[in-house]
Structure 1
Amino acid sequence: MNNMNYIRVGEKFKFKCTRCTLCCGTGPNVSITVFDVIRMSKYLDVNPIQFLKIFTNVIIADLIPVIALKGDIAGRCEFLGFDSNGKTFCKIYKYRPLKCRLYPVKLISPKSNHVYLDTDCPGLYAEDAEFIDFPVDIYKRNTYEVEWQYKKLYEKIFNEGKEPLNALLELIEELYEEAKNKNPSWLEI
């Protein structure tokens, strides 16, 4: 990772989004969690399995399913919009994936006390960039959700012997039922 700087989790850094589309317009490369799937599908009023089919690619990597947002024909995020002045915006901003909320912060490891800053992001060098607080709550939540997802998938695939895609679909169905019946705190951000 050549264009990355390290900072400590919790350390302030200078940043102001320039709406340049580097993060949203050069994909598709955003992996999302099953929690993101449920939140976005709820916002779009689409069944989560339909959401998976319409808006994502599921890649099976060494028996572990990874969910990635699809791109449009130009390779941009499906949810990247342009207003009448050509300015970019996120069509699902309030329910965008946690990974998107963290950018330009990129995780190293759930156990690391450091993260990367993507130095290709012009928002780190914007003239009017100010020091901002590190998004600790979002970082912790994302770390928890990623760890939880992969632990559950590991159990279903390696301990219970389920086929990877079926394990993923089952996990999404379980979370969807929880979201419908219990209105868990993770559903809202």
Structure 2
Amino acid sequence: MSKSHVDISVNDSPFSESPVVPTLLARDKKISFRCYKGVKCFNACCSNIDITLTPYDIIRLKNRLDVDSGQFLQEYTVPFEFEKDGIAGVKMKPVEGGTACRFMTEEGCSVYEDRPTACRYYPVGMVSMRKQDEYTDSNAYALVEEEHCLGHQEDRTLTIDEYREEQGLFDYDEYSRGWRQLILKKKSSGATIGKPSLRSRQLFFMACYNIDQFRTFVASDGFQQSFDIEEERMANILLDDVALMLFGFDFLKHVLFGEEQIKLKEGVMEQRLAKDRAILEQRINQKVAERNVDADIEPFDLS
């Protein structure tokens, strides 16, 4: 792949450990594949999982299980970091002491209608890319052929796009595009902005993965008093998980990359600057006092 590209694989598991660089394919490329209960390898891929979850995956699964996002994250996932970019990711937690998916049964997936993006894509992998001199991102695909998978031997041919449609991936991809763009932005900026602060990493994790906690944050007085959001839009954001998730992507672009995605209320910036100024003055004066500076020296004033 050209060095002018930055990429992230949504279902990164087969490629991260493989020394072979996958050949990227267009969406009209035809593949031979079929997975069903009668195939001899049925459930083999679910017996040894490495599933990265997207924000939309988490919404679908936590609603399917009727738990809030905090409980879902605690019970069903483990956090990880995308390479060394300081960007948090979430993986599905396997069964205790094993590698199998907790939702695997003899009949197949017990949450099939709400299964994650990576499960829907397999054996196809999607790679999102963005050239450093371009604003928009693009997608390509790769075919994963593992020895245990016999689905490639089935007598059925379809294009990658036809397979994506069959697996219900169009909505999944569209809803998680903002999340992929955030990761691409951080990867492409690299050392330019350095590793995000602890506060920034916490905001990213909350807005992307802990959607119910993010709802409480957005509904707080501090947030409401700071951002100028139309009443109708705010009501929709607070009621709808997907709308809140998409708003969260805009919020993170605003906070992490300085993109003016959300309008501040009049006077908020001036108030923040005044508050920062007062805090800085207080810290300076505290340092002066701690060093036992001559009593004749007056407190420091930035004005």
TM tier relative to shorter chain: 0.7 to 0.9
Partner of residue 132 from structure 1, selected from 141, 158, 164? 158
What is the total number of aligned residue pairs between the two structures? Answer: 177
Task: Give CA deviations for 1:125-151 in whole Å, capped at 9, x if unaligned.
Answer: 13xx31134334555544444441244
Matches within 5 A, 1:24-43: 24-27=46-49, 29-43=50-64
- Whole-angstrom distance in 1 between the partners of 2:68 and 2:179: 19
Q: CA RMSD in A?
A: 3.4
Q: Which has the higher helix share?
A: 2
SS at match of 1:78: coil
Partner of residue 90 from structure 2, selected from 67, 74, 77? 67
SS at match of 2:208: helix
- The question of 1:76 aligning with 2:95 is answered no
SS at match of 1:32: coil
- Give the structure 1 partner of residue 120 of structure 2: 101
| Structure 1 runs not aligned, ≥5 long | 84-88
- What is the identity percentage for the equivalent residue pairs of Structure 1 and Structure 2? 20
SS at match of 1:149: helix
- Give the structure 2 partner of residue 86 of structure 1: none
Partner of residue 27 from structure 2, selected from 1, 5, 9? 9
Task: Give CA deviations for 1:14-53 in whole Å, capped at 9, x if unaligned.
Answer: 11113533321112x1101111111100001011111011
- Whole-angstrom distance in 2 between the partners of 1:182 and 1:152: 21
The answer to which structure, 1 or 2, has the higher relative contact order (CA under 8 A, 6+ apart) is 1
- What code does the residue aligned with 1:181 have? L
Matches within 5 A, 1:137-148: 137=165, 138=168, 140-148=170-178
- What code does the residue aligned with 1:168 have? F
- Whole-angstrom distance in 1 between the partners of 2:121 and 2:203: 29
- Whole-angstrom distance in 1 between the partners of 2:243 and 2:33: 29
SS at match of 1:24: helix
- Whole-angstrom distance in 1 between the partners of 2:42 and 2:237: 34
Shift of residue 114, structure 1, vs aligned partner: 3.6
| Structure 2 runs not aligned, ≥5 long | 1-17, 130-136, 187-193, 216-235, 246-303
Cα distance change, pair 3–14 in 1 and its aligned pair in 2 (3 A): farther
